Structure 1
């Protein structure tokens, strides 16, 4: 596979990672807005919302919707859970951290399942 082909494959995944990062920003902003009663956090939430949906829609042009959505949601959930204690009065217990590790493992396996090698038919593998 050429470098250009690798870049074409990596591009949508990088945009999906960016969408996930914006999703974390959105979740944290919604929490900080306290029911959209704090203007700065509310504006931040609206901006992150638009950015995450735009990037997700771009990424889903090349990534299957089921896998892309699961990865995006997983990044958002893990990121919000890890950064919630940093920005807000939240607790990340060992049990929660363990389940977050399960989510991270699932996201990694979904990415591996989307690799070209896993998409080959049995006839292509034996050939």
Structure 2
């Protein structure tokens, strides 16, 4: 795995943190969660910009958004009493499969 893809995975992790902290901020009315959201937002943009120096924008953005969506959906039930139904789990699996295929399709790209 190249540094660009590691940066993209890190950006995805920061995106999960951003999404969860925005949820915790309750519309940016809780100061502590709002500040955490700003930090995660800046971190995710920085890591994503590093990754997109090498990875095609369309591929990188799709993978980043997929990681964020799946991570937030899986962790939402732990933090916010959200529900994860079998139908939601199926579509999250489809997103994960798409992210894996996008990574596999980028194997021939130079680093």
Interval of TM-score (by shorter of Structure 1 and Structure 2): over 0.9
* 1:122 corresponding residue in structure 2: none
Larger relative contact order (CA 8 Å, sep ≥ 6): 2
Point out where structure 1 has 5 or more consecutive residues left out of the alignment: 1-8, 120-127
Superposition misfits of 4+ residues, deviation over 4 angstroms: none
Instruction: Report the TM-score when normalising by structure 2.
Output: 0.96
State the shift of 1:21 in Å.
0.1
- Deviation of 1:89 (Å): 1.6
Aligned twin of 2:57: 65
Which structure's CA Rg is the greater one?
1
- Partner Cα separation in structure 2 for residue 16 and residue 78 of structure 1: 15
Secondary structure of 1:75 counterpart: helix
1:4 paired residue number = none
**Deviation by residue 1:42-98 (Cα, 9 ceiling, x = unmatched):** 000000000000000000000000000000000000000000000002000010000
Give the corresponding residue for 1:95.
87
Question: CA RMSD of the aligned region, Å?
Answer: 0.9
Q: Which residue of 2 aligns with 1:30?
A: 22
TM-score normalised according to structure 1 size: 0.84
Give SS of 1:34's match: coil
For 1:1-127, list aligned pairs within 5 A: 10-116=2-108
